[in-house]
Structure 1
Amino acid sequence: MNTRNSLHKLRRAGVSALLATLLLVGCGGEKPEAMLASAKEYLVKNDHKAAAIQLKNVLQKEPQLAEARFLLGKALLEGGDPTGAEVELRKARDLKYSADQVTPLLARTMLMLGQPQKVTDELATTELSTPEARADLLTSVGQAYLMQEKDSRAEAAYAAALVAQPAYAPALLGQARLQASRGDLPGAVALLDAALEKSPKLHDALQLKGDMLATNGDSAGAMAAYRKVLEVKPEYLPAHSAIIRMLLADNKLDEAGKQIDLLKETAPNHPQTHYLQAMYAYQKKDYAAARDSILLHLKFYPESPLGLQLAGLIEYDVKAYPQAEAYLLKALPRTPPLSITRRVLIASYLRDSQPGKALGILEPVLDKIDKDSNMLALAGQVYLQNGQVDKAGQYFAKAATLDPKNAGKRTSLAMVNMLKGDSDVAFRDLEQVASGDTGTRADLALIAAHMQRREYDQALKAIAALEKKQPDNPLTHNLRGTTLLGKRDMAAARKSFEKALALNPAYFPAAANLASLDLADKKPDDARKRFEGVLAKDPKNVQALLAVADLRARAGGTTEEVAGLIGKAIAASPSDPAPRLALIGMYLSKKEVKSALVAAQEAVAVLPERAEILDAAGRAQQAAGDYNQALATYGKLAALKPDSQIPLLRMAEIEVASNNKEAALQSLRKALKVKPDSVEAQRGIMMLELDAGRVKEALVVAREVQRQRPKEAIGYSLEGDAHASKNAWADAAAAYRAGLKEVPVSELAGKLYSALLGGGNTAEAEKFAETWLKEHPKDARFRLQLGELATARKDYAGAAKQYRLLLEAQPENAAVLNNLAWVAGQMKDPKAIEYAEKANKLAPNQPAVMDTLAVLLLDKGDSARALDLLKKALDLAPQASQIRLNYAKALLKAGQKTEARSELDQLAKLGDKFPAQAEVGQLLKGL
C-alpha cells in the first residue's frame, strides 16, 4: 500500500468536509439583507450568474421579499434568460414592488421574448410617476408598435417618451429605427447622431449604426461599428450576433467559430447563443450538432420563428420531411409571406411526393410572386407535379423573363428564347443543361414545354432522361402517364400511373389519374378504391378525402353524407382551407344557406386571415341576405388584401343587390384605383351608368377600355352593348363593325348579327352571316349562336340546319345534340329521342339534358321513365324552376295530383322570380 497517496487522499477528504461544513454554516447564518447587498454588488460587476444565485438564496428564506424578486428578474434578463425574468418580474409586481422600476423592465423582457402585442395590450396605457420610468416604458411601447408595423402609433409613443424626458437617447434611437424602416436613412442618421451626442457610449445607437451601414452594403463599416459596440459593452449579444451572421454570410467559418466562443463566455445559455451555434453547425453541415443547438434554443423560446425555420431546414437537409413539415408549418404564420420557410416547406412536400400540400402552401402567395423568379420557378414545379402542365409552363416562362442571366441559369435563358419563338435553340439549350446537370429544374422545364406544345414523343424522351436521374420518383412515372394520355394510349398510361403508385401508394396525383380513367370506363367503385388505397397509407390525405366526398356527391349521396365525408378532411387538417371551402361551396350549391353560414363561421374562427375563407364567408352571408355582415366581411378582406380588386367587386355586387347603387359605383371606382384596367369594374360602372340613364358616361368607360386593350374585343363589345341596351341598333352595329376590323373574333360577329336583326335588317344580317361563315368555316361558336337565335324566333328548321352542321364537325358534342333534340321535338321529328338519348349517354347526370329527354319521352307517352328522369334532374338541380314545372306536368299526366300540387305550390311562391307563373296558375286551377 502507498502510504503517501493514502495520506494525501485523507487530507484532501478532510479539507473538503471542512469547506462543506463552513459553507453550510455560512449559508445558514448569513442574513437575507447581507445576501441582498452581495447580490447588488454582483449586479454592479455584471456577474449576473452569481447575483442570481444569491437572490435565489434570499428568496428561499424570504419568498415574499419584493425587492429580491425584482432584482432576480433583472439578473435573469441581463444574463440571457428572459423567460425566467418575466416570471420573477410579474411576481415582483404582484408583491407591489415599485411600478416605476418593474414595468419598464417587464416591457423590455416581453420584447426580448418576441411578444410586442402583449406589451401594447398590457402596458401601453400604464401610468408611471417618474419621467425616467415613463420615457423608458413609452420607448418600449414604441418599439412594440414598430414590431407590429403600426408606424403611426410607434411614432406617437416615441414622441410621448421625449415629452416625458427631452432628448431621451433610447427614444431618439427608436425614432431613428422608425425613419430607417420608412427608407429615410438620412433622417435616421440625423436622429442617431443626436442620440450619440447625448450618450456617446449608447451601445444601441452604435448597433443601429452598424445595421444601417450593413443595409447600405458597407460591410467593413458595419463590422467596425459592431466591434465598437463590444468595446463599450463586451457582453452585448446583438453585436455578437450581427458579427457572427456577417462572418457566416461570407463563409468565414473559422472566424465565426471564434466569435461564437467569445459569446459563450458571456452568455453560454442564452437562446440566441444556441441559435447562432445551430446556424454555424448547419453551415458546416454538422447536422447532429445543429439539431442539438436548435433544440436548446427552442426549449427556451418554443415559438421562435427563426428557430423553427432553422429546425425545419436542418430536418429538410437530412431528408426527415415529416419533422421538417412540423417545424415549418409552425413557423409559417410567424414569418413573412415569401420567407425561406414557405419555400422550403413547398420543396419538402415536393421531395416527399406530396404535391397537393405543396400547392396549398403556394396558392396564398401566388399574387405576390410576379417579381420573384425563384418562386415562379418553384410554382412551375408545383403545378407540373400536380399535373397542370399549361400552368407549369406559364410559371417557368415568367421565371425566365425575370431572370434570364441567372439561371438555373441557361435554363432561364432557354425559356426566354422559347417565349421569343426561337424554340429550336431553346430546346437544344434545355436538353444540354438537363443532360449535364444532376438537378431536375431543366428536365422539368423541358418536359413542360414539350407537353404544352403537344409534342408528346419529345416529352417522353425527356422523361426517360429524368428517369435515369430519379428512377424511384413517382413523379417521373406520373409524367409519363400524363404524356401517354395525350397520345390516347390509355393502356400504357395506366401502367405508368400504377408504377407511380407502386413506388409510393400514397402518391395522390397518380391515384387521381387512375380514378379518372376508371370513371371514364364507368367504374366508379374502382375509382373510389384508388383513393381508399391512398388513405390506407396516408389517412389524413386531404385531397383523397375530398375526392371520396366528390365521388359520393356524383353518385347521388345525400347532403349529410357528403358533408360528413368533407368533415373528415377538415378533422384531418383543420388549418387547410380547401376542405372548409368545399363544405361551404357544397351547402351553397344546395341552397342550404344556414348550414353554409355555420360552416363559414367555423372556418373564419380557425382561419381569420385567409383571404379565400373570408371570401367564402362573404358569399354565404350574401346568400343569406345578411348584406351588412357580408359588407363587413369584405371590408376585412379589402384590408387584408389592399392590392386586390376582388373584395371591392364583391362589395359592389352586394350594394347593387341592396339597391344602394351609388355606393356600388364608389366601390367599383375604388376597384379601378387598385387595378386601372379591371374589365370587371369597368363593365360594372358602365351598367350602373346606363341604369341611371347616363349613356355618355358609360361610353366614356367603353372607349377607355378600347384605349387600354386596342387588340381585344372587350372594349368594342362594351360600346356596342351600351347602345344595344337603349335599342340604338345602328350605333351598336357600328361599334361591333369597328371592333371586327381590329379583332375579327366570333364574339363580335355574333353581336353584330344580333344587332342587325334587332334593327330589322334581316337580309343584311343573313348576308353577313353567310360571308362570315365562308371566311370562318370552323367558327362553331358563331354557328351555335345562329342556331340559338333561330330557336328563339321559332325558326326550328333554320336552327336544326345549324345544329346538324355543327354535329358533322363535332359528332360527340352533347350540348349540340341536346339542342338539336329539343328543336327536332318541336318539329315532331321522330329522331328527336335518338338525339336526346345520345346526349344523355355522352353527358350523364346533367339536369338540362335529362330534362330534354324526359319531356320528349312524356310527349311519346313514356310517363314512367320521364318521371324518373325528371325526379333525378330535380334532385341534382333543385333550384331549376323549369325542370320543376316539367316534373309537375309529368306528375299530372301520371295522375299524381297531390304530388303535382306540391311542386306547383313551390313554384307559385317564387312569384315574379319565375316568368312562367301564368302557366303555373292555369295548372293549379285545373286541379
Structure 2
Amino acid sequence: MKMFATTALGAIALTGVAMSVATPAQADGAIAKHDLVLSLGLLTDGNFNAARSYAEKAIKADPKWGLAHAMLARTYLALGDGIGAEAELGRAAANGFNMTRGHQMLAQAWLLQGDAKRALAEAAKADPRFGGYAARVTAKALALQNKSPDAIALLGELLNADPGNSYGWSDLARIRYNTGDVAGAAANAQRAVALDPNNLEALTLRGELMREQYGLGAALPWFEGALKRDAYYYPALIEYAATLGDMGRYNDMLDATRKALAAQPGNPQALYLQAVLAARAQNYDLARGLMQRTGGAVDDLPGGLLLGGTLDYQAGAYEQAIDKWRELVGRQPMNVTARRLLGAALLRSGDAKGALDVLRPVALRGDADSYTLALVGRAFEANGERDWAAKYLDRAAWPATAGATPFGSDDGLAVLANAAANDPGNPVAMVGMIRGLIDAGQASNALDRAKALAAASPGAPAAHLLVGDTLMTMSRYGEAADAYRRAADIKFDEATMLRAVDALDNAGRRPEASRVLALFLGQHPENIPALRLAAHWQIAAGDWDGAIGTLEDLRSRVGSRDVGLLAELAYANIGAQNVDDALDYGAAAYEIAPMSPAATDAYGWAFYAAGDSDKAKDLLEKAALLAPRQAGIRWHLAQAYADLGRNAEAKAQIALALGDPSFAERAPAQALLKTLG
C-alpha cells in the first residue's frame, strides 16, 4: 500500500518539494519564483488557465529553470493537452529537472495522446512517493484498453489506502460512467466534489451525470461552478454549450462555444457545435464551412455522421448522405433519428426494400411516430404491397401516444439465446435474449432473468427498464411504474419518462403521470415527444388554452407541415371557442393531407363548431370511411347527423361509437341517443 501514499495532486506535491530546494539560476529568479508560487496556488484553486499563464511568466523570467517548465507541463495536463505537456517535460529535463519526479506526468501526457501502452510502461517507472498519481494514470490506461474491471479494482485499492484522494474518486466516477454504472458514478463524483470543491474534472462530470439523471436544467449549476473557478476550462465549456443548445438557449450556446474557441483555437468540438447551431437555423452553407474547419476530426463521430449526412442531403448528395447515415445506424442501431433519416433517403433513392429493412424496428414499436409510419406505408406501396401499406398509413393517421417501447427484433429466440450463451458477460446480449423471451410470450422467464440482471447491475438504468418493460407486457402496470422509477432515479431521460408516464397512466394514476411529465418538461422544455404528450393530455382534460400554448410552442419548433399537430390545434381551438382559428388550422391540415382521417375529422369538426353542419357532415363521412374503427369520428358524425335531423343515421353512428370499449365520451353519447327516440 505504500505506493498509494501521496495525494491525488501528486505532481503539485512534487513541485512544491522541488521549490523548497531549487532556485532559479538567473537574475530574474525572484520574479520567476513569485510567478511559480502563484501558478501553484491557482492550480490548487482550480484556475488551470491562470496557472498556465503564471507558469509561462515564470519561464519568461527564467527560461533555463527546469522546475518552471515542469510546472507548465502540469498545467497542460490539467487542461488535457498531452502534446504540450510532453514538450514541456522535455524542456524541463533539458534544464536540470530530475525526471525521477516526472515519470507519472509523462505517463499522463502519453495517455492524453491516446497511447495507453506507453502510458502504462512509463507509470510503472514512477517513484513510490508518487504512486497514487501513477496508479490513477494506470487505471485510466487500463480503461482505455477496455479493461475497466481491472481499472476499477486498482482505483478501489488506491482509495482504500487514501480515501481523501478527490481525483481518484473522480477517475473512478468517469470509468464507472463509461461502463453504464450511472448510480455508482454519481456517488463517486459527489464524493470527489465534497473532498475538493476545486476539482474541475469532478464538477464537470457531476454536471454530465446530473444532466442524465435529472435533466438539462439540473446540470447547468455544476458546469457554471467549474467555470466560476476557471472561465476558460474547456471540458466544462463544451458540455455547458451542448446543454444550453439542447435547452433552446442558442445565443448562450454560441457565447459558450466562442469562449471555448478562445480557450482552444480551432478545436473541432466547438466548431462542430457551431455547425449544429447553423444547421438548426437552416444556414447550411455556414454549417458546411464550420465542419470543413474541423479538418475531418469529427466526421467519423456519431454527431458528425448525423450532421454530415444532413448537410450532404441538403446539397443533393443523397448517396453520400445514405453512406453516412448507414454507418451511424450500424454503430447505433437504437438511434431512431438516424434510422428515420436513412429510411427516408433510401425511399427517395428508390430502394424501398432497404427503407423497410431500416425502418421496421422503429415501426414495430407501439409508440412509432406518424412520419416513420407514413414512410413505411409508402415503402410498402412502392413494393406493391398495398394491404401492408394501408395498415401503416392508417397507423400514421392516428399515431399512438403510448410510452417508449423497445425496438422490435427480427431475430428468433434461439438466435438471441445463443448470442447470450456465447458471451455471458455481455449485458447487451443478455438484454437481447430477455427481449426475445418477451416477444416469444415467455414473460415469467423473462421477468426472472430481468430481475437477476437488475440485481447484478443496480446502478445501470437499462436493467431496471428491462424489468419494467417485462412487467408492462404482463399488464402489471403499477409494478412496472416502480421499476421505471428506479431507472429514473439513476437516469431521467426521454425514454424512461415516457415509459414511466405510460405505466402510471395504465395503472390509473394519471395525476402521478402528469407530475412526472411536468418534472421532465421543467428540465427539458424543448423535448418534442414530451410536449406532444402534454398537449394531448391537455386536450383530453379540456385545458384548451394550455393545449393551444403547448401546441403553438411545438409548431415553432417543428414547423407548420405537421398534420397531426395542425389537427390538434384545430381541436384545441374548437374547445376554446376560437372557431375561426380552428377552421384555419383544420383547412391547413386538410390541404396537406386530404386522405388523412385525423385532418379530415378536424376540418369537419371545425365546420360543425362554426354551425355549418352540412359541410361538417360531408367531411366527417369521408373521415369515417378512411378510419371506420375510430369511435371519435363516429361520435362527431352522429352529432352532425342529429343537427340535420337525420336521427336514424345519428343513432347508428352512436351505436358504433359505444361499441368501442375505449370510447371516452360515453355519457354525452348516451344522453344524445335518448333524445333521438
Computing the radius of gyration from Cα coordinates, the structure with the larger value is 1
Higher RCO (CA < 8 A, seq sep 6+): 2
TM-score normalised according to structure 1 size: 0.38
TM-score normalised according to structure 2 size: 0.50
